[in-house]
Amino acid sequence: MEQRYATSPEHVPGMDTAELRSRYLVQDLFRDDAVGAVYTHQDRVVLLGVSPTSKPLDLPTFPEIRSEYFLEHREAGVINVGGTGTITADGTTYTLTKGSCLYLGRGVKDVSFASDEGAEAPAAFYVMSAPAHTAYPTTLVEAGHGNVRELGDALTSNRRTLNQYIHENGVQSCQIVMGVTTLHPGSMWNTMPAHTHDRRMEAYLYFDLPEDARVIHLMGEPTETRHLVVGNREATIAPSWSVHSGVGTASYSFVWGMAGENQSFDDMDGFAVTDMR
């Protein structure tokens, strides 16, 4: 599993494009018939991409987490960003259409992932995992359910629908707060005005972005921003001190996921666009 150690905001001004990308952009999570894995030491979150095409794939454990099985000391939120697929967790099978979410509680031993239609329409399971102190029930949320918030305005190109799946008033977890945001056609901006939350890190996985389109994702302290040029099914890692906001050259969706000190979605420190640099 790739290891990425935590960084401090004062490192950012000295980084060139390649270093920014190697630390904060995750490009190769999804490869056919493989499990891609990155251990970010930002709040000890592990990001996985599981792409079963010709055969089911088991959730492996990794030497870096010194656990008999992956969820021995962890929990995970999973969102399918591909064709319909199934997850079997200790004998129970859950069907995930595109955009659906499965919470896997601490202590679930055997997890396997499969695509309903194989290589024709492969599923692509994005997994965000964090350390967990207790076991909450494994729970499925169908795409479009959970708590739905309508945000932004077509006039400011940021009209979007936000679905909260794992959160304070929804599916319970130890740390993870997770959901999906979808831009309406013609709207391109997410999370503008931008914010930080020093209590939690946040990762975005962009999906349903056309192959020849890109998202210009802003990161860094609000008064010292940098950008990452992000393609389809690539993830960005925002440490607690970093803004995380993007504009696409086409409409897109993204999975957002957080872990850290609290689970309070609205505990954000907002910044006026005019104060950003």
Ligand X SMILES: O=C[C@H](O)[C@@H](O)CC(=O)C(=O)O
Beta-ladder partners of 225: 220
41 is in an annotated binding site: no
Buried b / exposed e along 29-48 (16+ C-beta atoms within 10 A): bbeeeebbbbbbebbbbbbb
Q: CA-CA distance, 100 to 80, in Å (whole number)?
A: 6
Exactly one of 40, 80, 187, 190 binds ligand X (CB under 6 A); which one? 190
Asked whether position 129 contacts ligand X by CB under 6 A, the answer is no
Nearest residue (beta carbon) to Zn ion:
202
Work out what residue 181 binds among Zn ion, ligand X, none; the CB cut-off runs from 5 to 8 Å by kind.
ligand X
Give the Å distances, CA to CA, from 214 to 19, 28, 66, 107, 144.
19, 16, 37, 38, 25
Site stretch for ligand X (CB under 6 A), options 30-38, 115-123, 189-197, 208-216: 189-197
Measured from the CB atom, the residue of 75 and 202 that comes closer to Zn ion is 202
Residue pair 86/94 in contact (Cβ under 8 Å)? The answer is yes
Asked whether position 202 contacts ligand X by CB under 6 A, the answer is yes
Shortest reach from residue 147's CB to ligand X, in Å: 11
Asked whether position 53 contacts ligand X by CB under 6 A, the answer is no
Compute the C-alpha angle 43/235/163, nearest 5°: 85
Asked whether position 167 contacts ligand X by CB under 6 A, the answer is no
Shortest reach from residue 194's CB to Zn ion, in Å: 9
Residues 6+ away with beta carbon under 8 Å from 230: 25, 206, 214, 215, 216, 217, 236, 246
Q: CA-CA distance, 76 to 70, in Å (whole number)?
A: 10
> Within positions 139 to 158, which residues make up the interface with ligand X, using CB under 6 A?
151
133 is in an annotated binding site: no
Binding-site size for ligand X (CB under 6 A) equals 11
> Within positions 170 to 209, which residues make up the interface with Zn ion, using CB under 5 A?
202
Give residue 117's Cα distance to chain centre: 24
Shortest reach from residue 152's CB to ligand X, in Å: 8
Measured from the CB atom, the residue of 115 and 190 that comes closer to ligand X is 190
DSSP 210-231: -TT--EEEEEEETTEEEEEEE-
Work out what residue 160 binds among ligand X, Zn ion, none; the CB cut-off runs from 5 to 8 Å by kind.
ligand X
211 is in an annotated binding site: no
Exactly one of 7, 181, 236, 240 binds ligand X (CB under 6 A); which one? 181
Work out what residue 173 binds among Zn ion, ligand X, none; the CB cut-off runs from 5 to 8 Å by kind.
none
Shortest reach from residue 201's CB to ligand X, in Å: 10
How does strand 269-270 pair with strand 195-196?
Answer: antiparallel
| Three-state secondary structure call for residue 247 | strand
Residue pair 199/262 in contact (Cβ under 8 Å)? The answer is yes
Residues 6+ away with beta carbon under 8 Å from 222: 194, 196, 243, 271, 275, 276, 277
Which residues participate in the annotated binding site for Zn(2+)?
Answer: 195, 197, 202, 244
Which residues participate in the annotated binding site?
Answer: 195, 197, 202, 244
Binding site for ligand X (CB under 6 A): 151, 160, 162, 181, 190-191, 197, 202, 244, 256, 268
